[in-house]
Amino acid sequence: MEITKEIQRLMLERMWTIRNFEEKVIEVHEAGEFVGPAHPYIGEEAVAVGVCLALKDSDYIAGNHRSHGHPLAKGGSIKKAMAEIYGRVDGYCKGKGGSMHLADFSVGILGESGIVGSSVPVATGAGLASKMRKKDFVSVVFFGDGASNQGACHESMNLASIWKLPVIFVCENNQYAITNSYENSVAVDNVSDRAVAYNMPGILVDGQNVEAMYEATAEAVKRARNGEGPTLIEGLTYRFEEHSLGLGKIRRGEYRDKAEIDKWRERDPLDIHTKKLIERGILSESDCKKIENDSKVEIEEAVNFARNSEFPGPEDLFEGMWANPIPKP
């Protein structure tokens, strides 16, 4: 499959956006600038970026608690994402959602779910609507290896298959659910092997290779738009940081070998892609450096935007509860 130069470049840009965003979130969290959990996506950037660049704006995505990478990959506003994490009125969700619940409906992001596995049925339903309304949008849901053991995944994959829905199930297999390893929790070698149980293709992809993720997704999107039904894509990846901010300090290293972490850090998705772009002569080393730096500037702007945004006030408390409001009980 031919990937245009433009997209190859965009891949690097979006991955840097996520990487720098996450580094910044870690930094300002340590500085105490916001309260609440957050789950860094560092190391896994190629998965969301590869998938989302194979989508149109009119396609939908839904995600999980490891929640910053998906909307940023889909082209959601960086400023609003940061403001949301800061709990401010200019955030995606006006400060109501926070890190685990980023959502930008304006660009097809149906939202991240803090309850593991819980957005899988929802995304399946968006696919159902696509079919019913005879639209050609597809619906993608990101979930982890841990989530794959939730009943919700089973039920949704079966539904999507029998109804031939344009849904793409993307398992981000980073091989751990907090401290519990893949081997201790999933009974099958690869999550994608489970696709046979639903009579759909199951594709195992190197999740550090953004182009491979893109290609697998593009293929699945084609099938979906052709009415051929769902696909399960497993991106094999690794989180470079701890499960969540805060937890990091307590648990670092106690369940993962340093050697394993080092091995995976050598397969940094940004390095891998940068090298390819330079080798192919698409970008020079300094072009790449510029992308990295421009992104840092953009993130800095986002932080400033967030810092300058207001906290929601008492008058905002009940805002957004109901579409057709009811009296306070």
Partner 1 sequence: MTEKIFADAINEAIAEEMRRDPNVFIMGEDIRLSIYGATKNLYKEFGEERVLDTPLSENGFFGAAIGASLVGMRPIVETVTSFMWVAMDQLISQAAKMRYMFGGQATLPVVYRASMAYGSGSAAHHSDRNYPMFMNMPGIKIAVPATSADAKGLLKTAVRDDDPVIIFEDTNLMGTRGDVTDDEIPFGKAVIIKEGSDCTIVGIAGSVKLALDAANNLEKEGISCEVINPRTLVPLDKQSILSSVEKTGRLVIADPAHKVCSAASEISSIVAEEGFWFLQSPIIKVASEQVHIPYAQSLEKLVYPNVDKISTAVKKTME
Ligand X SMILES: Cc1ncc(C[n+]2csc(CCOP(=O)(O)OP(=O)(O)O)c2C)c(N)n1
- Give the helix/strand (H/E) hosting 204: strand 202-206
Taking CB under 6 A as the criterion, the residue among 16, 169, 176, 305 binding ligand X is 176
Binding positions for Mg ion, 159-188, rule CB under 5 A: 174, 177
Taking CB under 6 A as the criterion, the residue among 115, 297, 317, 321 binding ligand X is 115
Which of partner 1, ligand X, its own copies, none does residue 192 bind to, with CB < 5 to 8 Å depending on kind? none
Taking CB under 8 A as the criterion, the residue among 35, 115, 132, 162 binding its own copies is 162
Binding positions for partner 1, 46-85, rule CB under 8 A: 60, 62, 84
Q: Considering the rule CB under 8 A, would residue 155 count as an interface residue with its own copies?
A: yes
Which of Mg ion, partner 1, its own copies, none does residue 309 bind to, with CB < 5 to 8 Å depending on kind? none
Q: How far is CA 226 from CA 67, 137, 186, 219, 222, in A?
A: 29, 11, 32, 11, 6
Q: Considering the rule CB under 8 A, would residue 223 count as an interface residue with its own copies?
A: no
Which of partner 1, its own copies, Mg ion, none does residue 198 bind to, with CB < 5 to 8 Å depending on kind? its own copies
Closer residue to ligand X in complex, CB, 68/131: 68
Q: State whether residue 37 is helix, strand or coil.
A: coil
Q: x/- string (CB under 5 A) for Mg ion, residues 124-163?
A: --------------------xxx-----------------
Shortest distance, position 127 Cβ to ligand X, whole Å: 21
**Secondary structure of 58-80 as H, E, C letters:** CCEEEECCCCCHHHHHHCCCHHH
Rounded to an integer, what distance in angstroms lies between the CA atom of residue 15 and that of residue 50?
9
DSSP letter at 169 equals E
Q: How far is CA 137 from CA 44, 128, 153, in A?
A: 25, 10, 21
Q: Are 101 and 67 in contact (CB under 8 A)?
A: yes
